[in-house]
Amino acid sequence: MAKLGEGDDRWIVKEREDGANVNSWHWTTKDVSKHTKSTVAAALEGLSFAAPLDQCRITSAEVDGECSVNNRKGRTFLIYEFEVKLKWEGGLLDGDGLNLDSAKGTMKLGDVSAESLDDLDVEFTSKSRGSPCSEAMRKQGVAAVKAAVVACIKGLQEEVAAGAAADAAAKAGGAKVDATAAAAEAIAKGAPVRPLPQPLKVESAAAAAAAAARAPATGAAKRFDVDSDDDADAKAKARSKRSDDDDDEAPPPELARALKRLTDAPDSLTAVRLSNCGVRDVHLPALIDVLRKMGCGVQTLDLAFNRLTDAGIHLLAKALAAGAAMELAEVRLGGNRTSPSAPALTQGLRQVRNELSVVWRNELNDAKSIASVGTVYPNSPAARAGLRTGDSLVAFGAVQHATFESVTASVVPVVKARVGKEIDCVVVRLDEASKVHQIALTLVPQKWEGSGLLGCILKGACVEGGG
């Protein structure tokens, strides 16, 4: 540890009388939407196509959206989200230079952002659908438009890098420079220096849905090995088949408490632990809103073993790539109701936020036993859920070792409150080779031919009469 007065001056963030943003530590932003929209539109309106489309042209380009230069912790980056609408027309010539065919139509790029730049979606229309010119434009013309948009955006990214480089040079010479303003000025002047890392690649919702549909069917209770991906397809299918019995969009109590605390004091929580709490996609916008707050101090976000799907992961990844929760160092997402392709949705975060670790292991962090499973009666709700004698229960809904008191005080109230409704559980089980597995199960307390609502024994006490 450095002695007093000998620390790295890059980390000086204390308030100053002169109001200076020392070493560009604090978040600053500058809107550059007007310039960037006109730049993209001009690049597309001047686009020329290779043969045989050399007689085709973009007749109009309309760009809507926002773009800003942002600085945080000495890093300068571009955040943008555009919608591009194009009109095109042209024709094909034969070998003698005579007009062979002509057509006109439109193209629409509904989402041009850091998350979609590697796989832009283009809506193509033509008034001469199926004609040679229309088909050539649909294939080659669309590809050329995509390439032009990517090149233009990367040029803007390079201009941001130029501004950051100018800022660094000025600081080395002892000058006081606003990094955000310097980058914005560089964009206005247009001075590319070097490319920034590739933007985050996120699969489309349609692709994610297709991947999920390819997962093979399995039983409701399936073992998911924390050290292997062999059961990944089975996991996605099994968990997706479980119904969400709560139509209420209100956040789970654990999430509600975290949201209130982060709203009242954004820097009051460094670790938000929401594993196995029933968090669904519909709850994420509220969480993302508080993570975007200035001064948010969350460093660890645990969302493992919830009910998130690929769509929710996409939403969260997009927010993190755009600068939400800049202090975040680790997010845990394993054990959710995602398809096998879901980890790809967060893979690109390494490029835009290399300090952020995304953990996809199907395991609860710091799992400790809260009860051991004794007898499991045949045909009981516990048996149908997949519980076995000898299992070690580490999560019963939101109840984990940190909040567990006893079966009577902690488990029974949850059972009584969830009769006929699903309770997500996690157990630890040893296989024949003494290998440890964490297994996600869904238990539905209900009356059956035997006594009680579960039909099993926990910690030597029969959970009956409401348990």
Instruction: Give me the CATH number covering residue 239.
Output: 3.80.10
Residue at which a domain ends, from 320, 338, 359: 359
Residues 6+ apart with CB under 8 A from 358: 330, 331, 333, 343, 346, 349
What is the model's pLDDT at position 45?
87
Residue 4: inside a domain: no
Same domain for 354 and 378? no
Pairing outcome for strands 122-126 and 436-443: unpaired
CATH number at residue 39: 3.15.10.20
Can you say whether the dihedral through the CA atoms of 135, 138, 139, 144 is positive or negative?
positive
Same domain for 377 and 252? no
Same domain for 104 and 211? no
Same domain for 71 and 160? yes
Report helix, strand or coil for 14. coil
- Find the helix or strand (DSSP H, E) in which 395 lies: strand 392-396
Residue at which a domain ends, from 149, 164, 189: 189
Same domain for 300 and 276? yes
Same domain for 348 and 376? no
What is the model's pLDDT at position 189?
57
- Determine the distance from the C-alpha atom of residue 12 to the mean position of all C-alpha atoms in its chain, rounded to a whole number: 31
Same domain for 253 and 280? yes
**Which residue, among 397, 316, 389, 395, has the nearest Cα to 358 in the 3D structure?**
316
**Which residue, among 100, 93, 98, has the nearest Cα to 51 in the 3D structure?**
93
**Which residue, among 244, 225, 235, has the nearest Cα to 444 in the 3D structure?**
244
Question: Over the range 6-21, which residues count as b (16 or more CB within 10 Å of their CB) and which as e?
Answer: eeeeeeeeeeeeeeeb
Give how many domains the chain has, as a whole number.
3
Residue 330: inside a domain: yes
Residue 424: inside a domain: yes
Same domain for 377 and 444? yes
Residue for token pair 């809904």: 397
Residues 6+ apart with CB under 8 A from 225: 231, 362, 435, 437
Residue 364: inside a domain: no
CB-CB contact of 112 with 47 (8 Å): no
Residues of the chain predicted below pLDDT 50? 1-2, 8, 10-13, 16, 18-19, 23-24, 177, 191-247, 460-467
**Which residue, among 45, 68, 42, 69, has the nearest Cα to 57 in the 3D structure?**
45
Same domain for 348 and 316? yes
Same domain for 147 and 288? no
What is the model's pLDDT at position 131?
82
Give the separation between CA 86 and CA 59, rounded to whole angstroms.
8
Residue at which a domain ends, from 359, 386, 409: 359
Please write the tens of the pLDDT for every residue from 267-317: 888 999 999 999 999 999 999 999 988 788 899 999 999 999 999 999 999
Residues 6+ apart with CB under 8 A from 255: 274, 277, 279, 283, 286, 287
What is the model's pLDDT at position 246?
43
CATH number at residue 436: 2.30.42.10
What is the model's pLDDT at position 453?
92
Q: Where are the alpha helices (H) located in 91-247, listed in sequence order?
A: 132-136, 142-172, 179-189, 205-213, 232-240
- Find the helix or strand (DSSP H, E) in which 359 lies: strand 357-359
Domain that includes residue 278, residue range: 205-359
Please write the tens of the pLDDT for every residue from 155-166: 888 777 776 666
Residue 365: inside a domain: no
Same domain for 152 and 46? yes
What is the model's pLDDT at position 299?
93
- Find the helix or strand (DSSP H, E) in which 437 lies: strand 436-443
Residues 6+ apart with CB under 8 A from 300: 270, 271, 272, 273, 328, 329, 330, 331, 332
- 342 CB neighbour count, 10 Å cutoff: 26
Same domain for 238 and 164? no
Residue 27 C-beta-side C-alpha neighbours within 13 Å: 13
Residue for token pair 């945080």: 72
